[in-house]
Amino acid sequence: MAIIRLPGKKSSAWPWLLLVMLVLAHFVGLLTGVENMVGRAVQPVLRTLSSRNQSLTGWLNNWRERRACQTELSEVKNQNSRLTAQTISLASLVEENKELRQLLNFQKAREFKLVTANIVYRGQSGGLLAPSQTLIIDQGARQGIATDLAVIDQQGAIVGKIGQVKDNSAEVLLVTNKNCLLAAATASSSQTIGVVRGEMGLTIRLEMVAQNEPLQVGQDIVTSGLEPAVPPNLLIGRINQVNKENNALWQDAGLEPLTDANQLNFVSVIIP
């Protein structure tokens, strides 16, 4: 019968004895050849691991730098947007201040009583793509505004006439509106020579002018003062075309409006 021997306490000392012998052999130099051989064998692996470690470190550094650059770029863009908005706002205030000074100079020169109002709506007739023919302003009957009063821009050119009026708002019929009629004269004479009316919301036309009235391209047309609520010598437009037929009773002329209502932020109403 085979006898199985269990490992005793002495058998557990062999690993430690072997380890001590290897350490002594290393210091004596007996393992130099083996160690060199093992070192040469694992050196490529160590170089590869080192290279990959350097690559990973470089990638992490580059990623951090890109993140930092992106954050800085985003901050610069936000700051640039804020500065641009501030510049636009400042430019708008400068332009508005300039327009108000022009209006004040005009008011002093003509001694008009004016009610200045902001434009709060631009109305179209015939769809969204149709030109604006009316304005809504934020001043009304409580501020002394009434139907048919003249509406001017900051330079004193007529923009249109007041239409419907409410307590704190009013409708402005632009000179290009067919429902806005103005008694007209030439800039060199206060005598009424015809009527100016809007044409399709785009242009204005001087109509019902006698055949013997001398009209020429480039001539300025102004209000004549025939209407009680519209003072004389408010600039309406400049003649760009004269239509005169020998057998016709009247002649007419196309006018170029000197005010672009789409560029206005505010207007003034002349109070008699």
Per residue in 132-180, pLDDT tens?
789 999 999 999 999 999 999 988 899 999 999 999 999 999 999 999 9
Closest by CA position to 132, among listed 228, 267, 239: 267
At 176, list the tokens. Answer: 């290009």
- Asked if residue 124 has pLDDT above 80, the reply is no
Q: What angle do CA 124, 156, 176 make, to 5 degrees?
A: 25
Residue 168 near residue 197 (C-beta atoms within 8 A): no
Phi and psi at residue 243, to the nearest 5°: -115, 110
Q: What angle do CA 78, 81, 84 make, to 5 degrees?
A: 150
Is the four-CA dihedral 199, 205, 206, 208 of positive or negative sign?
negative
Q: Specify the pTM.
A: 0.62
Lowest mean per-residue pLDDT among 121-125, 171-175, 225-229, 241-245 = 121-125
Residue 267 near residue 117 (C-beta atoms within 8 A): yes
Tell me, which fold does domain 112-271 have in CATH?
Answer: Thrombin, subunit H (2.40.10)
